[in-house]
Structures are given as structure tokens and as C-alpha cells.
A and B are shown apart, each in its own frame.
With several copies, the nearest count.
Chain A
Amino acid sequence: MEIKVEDAIKWFEKINEKIKLNKEYLTSLDQVIGDSDHGINMARGFEEVVNKLSAKEYGTVSEVLKDAAMTLMSKVGGASGPLFGTAFLRFSTAVKVKESVDFETFTLGLESALEGVKHRGKSTAGEKTMIDVWSPVVDFFKRENDFQPDELLYESRTAMENTKEIMATKGRASYFKENSIGHIDPGAASSYYIFEALAEVLQEGEK
């Protein structure tokens, strides 16, 4: 399967639905090891992304990703805004060449997105951040030859749950030190919804 413009748009619509549905849950995660705004930030951002995408015609997946990125950058705020913004912007640049995106290019895009987050956040895997979902997901994509929605779901969920075990050293959660252990990272949870949404788009595409 290839990701086409409609798929990309559907991806963001699904992310938006999931984030909206889990807005309070995400905020409650941020209540424990942050400042109680992550769900609010993400919901505001992805709502605007969907508004933006629905108001325009797109020729390439890259353009969709770019508009999503710029909207997240200017509507989310906090730490997650520039990080998710950077992720999708790098993604957009990496897949610029083609109208629709095949598995290999998509994998390159994801990898590029991850590098962007790491660079922007001066962070790496194992610090209890969104990277701890993005990084295993990228590894998973690199191991495979084609989209595997079911396994993607499993990998990303596991990765998110594994953030429980990590002690935070980046972002606001780092102030909680040992006390951050035992709690899911909010950004990891929202990243999980991003990949859950992706998995659903892929599943529907397979039918």
C-alpha cells in the first residue's frame, strides 16, 4: 500500500478524534508529572490541523504534512508544539519527492521526524519523552518491508507503556525525578494515538 493525500488527511482526522476523546486522560497524565496542559495543548493543535486541512486542496502528502506541522507549531505551544511541529515538518521534507508515499519513503520520513525531535529537544531515547515511542516505532519500520498495522499498534502501545518504567531526565517531568517512575509520559501517550491513528488508516486501506 502507498499513503496517498486522502490517507494522510484521514490520518490527521483520526489523530484529532483520538486526542479529543482522550484529552482529559492526556491532561491527567500531565497532572501527575507535568503542568496539566498536555491534552489541552494537543486537542487545540490537532483541531486546528483538521480545520486547516479541510479548507484546502492538496497535491502531495508532503504538503499535507507541512501544513499540519506549521499548524501544530503555531497552535500547540509548550514543549510538545515545537517538537511535534518539527517532527511533521522533517517528515514533510523527507517525503517531498513523491505525490504518494510508499513504505520505504514513509520509513525515511518517520526516521527524519525522529531525528528532528531529538535535535530540537536535545534529547535521546530513554529519557521518558515522546521519543520513547517514536524511536521504537522507527526501529520497527526499519525491521519490516511493508506496513504492518496490527504490529504497529502493538509496538507503539508497548513503547508507550514502557515509558512508565523510565525516570524522566528531560522536559518538565524531569523535576519529578524518581517520582516520575510508574507514570506514562504524556507526550508518549499522544504519540501512541498518532500511531494508533496511522494503524487504523492502514487497516482501512488494506480492505
Chain B
Amino acid sequence: MKKIINDPNNVVNDMINGMIAAYPHDLRQIPNTAVIVRSDAPVVNKVALISGGGSGHEPAHAGYIGRGMLDAAVTGEVFTSPTPDQIFEAIKAVNSGNGVFLIIKNYTGDVLNFEMAAELAEAEDIKVEKVIVNDDVAVEDSSYTIGRRGIAGTVFVHKIAGAKAEKGASLEEVKSVAEKVVKNVRSMGMALSPCTVPAAGKPSFKLAEDEMEIGIGIHGEAGIERKSITSADKIAGELTDRILGDININEEDEVAVMINGLGSTPEMELYIINNKVNEILTEKGIRIYKTYVGEFMTALEMTGCSVSILKLDDELKQLLDAPSEAVAFRS
């Protein structure tokens, strides 16, 4: 394991300290917690947005804190959902009386911990609503299992629900637009090489020198298929086709596209993927309103990428364009 760290059991703490040190005017840590909030939290007359999850997905989630996006992020241990008490601390810290909105990615751990936190909050009469993001089309959508995972599409939920809240919308309105995003966003990823949880010290899976895994999750959970590495164009084609096979996007429809690097993929390669995704969509007459290329939802140093497509309407376009002062997402 080659990492630039101190104690592997202390990486989250060191990271939080380093983040606060970097952005003392933007971010604040709630003392003795793993909760980072907007420095001006609680913001009066605004629904507060909280996201979070395991660490290792940076810039998610704390990088999305800021005017126009999140009010707080709860950071768990690496790839481990934060605990209800920590989430509850975040809820208390950002609540200004207009209600608190939780953005949860659909993993058993995240759902359980956030739900328990919501129960704690409700017991203290704090209005809490939530959305569960499940954009990963690599997983079959089954009512029997936990269902689809939440991956990079979550960033669109942060952005759009955040913009809605910033405009003074009610908790119900924020929830409703967040649900609209969830309904209209799909993602799928792939990896060329694994990552190593610092405290585990060993890679989370193995891929042969000529192998890739299509449909992998952001913690290294299994994908759809392992096969020989193909060209960027074929990879882009496969991810895009799978997404378009799952959501009804027609000619003249407008979309936002996100090409997300999982950690070790050079930006150059993300643009190469985008080149093909753009071509495929354009050929189908789908209109690309906005494209995001970069690292938005990573998996430590995993090599690979994901493609997310969000179908837009006028409201979503307007909210996507709204200003954001989040550290990792300025617009």
C-alpha cells in the first residue's frame, strides 16, 4: 500500500483538519464530530441540506458544501457510513427551523444510519425529509434487494436541490425537485484497477493486467462483467447505451452529462470518453445542455470512470445554472 498518510486509522480526522485549514472562511467543523458545515450555518429562512457517507469519495461530500449546495456533510470512516449520532449533530447544527433535507445514497449502511438519525431528529421536533439516490443502472432494480446504488448522479441532486433551497423553497419543494432529479438521472461506471482502504492495507479486489470491470460500484462492489480492456470509444458506448436503455430520452430532449473520474484516471482520458459520449448523444439528436468532466465522486485511487446522464426540463436547467459557491463546484 503506497499512500501519503500518517496513521491509517486517523486518515479521516487528518483530512477534515486539512480541509478546514484550507477553507477556514467557507467551512467549519462541529467540534468533536465528523460533521463539516457551511461557516455561516445555520442559514436562516432556508431549508438545510445534508449529505454524507463514507469517506474516500472526495470531493464528495464536504466539497459540495457552500452557498447554493449543501449546508453540511457528515463524513464516515473510509467507505463506511457515518453513525446516527453524527448525522444527528449535523441536523442540529444546520437546522434553522425551516426543516432539514437529507440526501442519501442507496446503500444499506447509509440508509439505516440516516434513517435512525432522522428518527432522533423527529423525536426533538425537527422537520426532516430525505431522498434516496439510486442512479447506478449496473444494479438490477429489484424490490427484493436493497436495489440500485447511489453514485455520481448524487452530485446533481446536491446541486439542484441546493439551488432550490437557496431560492427559498420549502422542505416539500426541495424534496420534490430532488425526487425529480433522482427520477431523471442514471449513471454507470467501470474500473481498470482497484483501490485500497488505508486501514485494510490491501486492494479491495483484483483485475488482471488486461482486464476491466464494467458496472463497478464506488466501493469496489461487483459490476456486471469482467472482460478484456477495450477502447475508450467502446467503453463510452457501452456505458452510454446501458444508461439510455434504462431511461426514456428522445430526440430534442436536453440532458446534462457528467464524466466522473474514480480517482486515478487522467483527466485526458475523461475527455476522451466525453468525446464519444457526446458523439453518441448528438447522433441521436439528444441535446447536451451542459457537460461536467472531472472528479466528482471518487473511490480513493481506483482507476476508472463513470458516465451520468440527467434528463432536464426548464426547472432543472435553471437550477443547474444557479450560482454555487461550493468549494469543489463553483458555477
Q: Is B one of A's binding partners? A: yes
Chain A interface (Cβ < 8 Å from any Cβ of B): 27-28, 31, 33-37, 39-41, 44, 73-83, 120-121, 169-172, 174-177, 179
Across the interface, A40 reaches (CB within 8 A) one of B81, B146, B199, B219, namely B199
**Which residue on B lies nearest to A180, using beta carbons?**
B222
Beta-carbon contact of A36 and B113 below 8 Å:
no
B contact residues around A179 at 8 Å (CB)? 222
Beta-carbon contact of B222 and A175 below 8 Å:
yes
CB distance from A116 to the nearest CB of B (A): 12
With A and B bound together, what is the CA distance between A172 and B222 in angstroms? 9
A contact residues around B77 at 8 Å (CB)? 37, 40-41, 44, 77
CB distance from A87 to the nearest CB of B (A): 12
Per-position 1/0 for B75-115, Cβ under 8 A of A: 01111111111100000000000000000000111001100
Judged by a CB distance under 8 angstroms, whether B289 is at the interface is no
- Starting from the known contacts A36-B196, A77-B77, 13 additional A-B residue pairs (CB-CB under 8 Å) come to A35-B204, A35-B220, A37-B54, A37-B78, A76-B83, A77-B113, A79-B81, A79-B108, A81-B109, A81-B113, A169-B144, A174-B146, A176-B222
Beta-carbon contact of A73 and B82 below 8 Å:
no
Beta-carbon contact of B80 and A175 below 8 Å:
no
Complex A-B: 11 CB contacts under 8 Å: A35-B221, A36-B204, A36-B219, A37-B77, A37-B197, A74-B86, A78-B54, A78-B76, A78-B80, A78-B113, A172-B109
Number of A-B contacts (CB under 8 A): 113
Judged by a CB distance under 8 angstroms, whether B116 is at the interface is yes
Judged by a CB distance under 8 angstroms, whether B68 is at the interface is no
B contact residues around A31 at 8 Å (CB)? 200, 202, 204-205
**Which residue on B lies nearest to A76, using beta carbons?**
B83
A contact residues around B197 at 8 Å (CB)? 27, 35-37, 40
Beta-carbon contact of B219 and A172 below 8 Å:
yes
With A and B bound together, what is the CA distance between A174 and B217 in angstroms? 12
Beta-carbon contact of B149 and A77 below 8 Å:
no
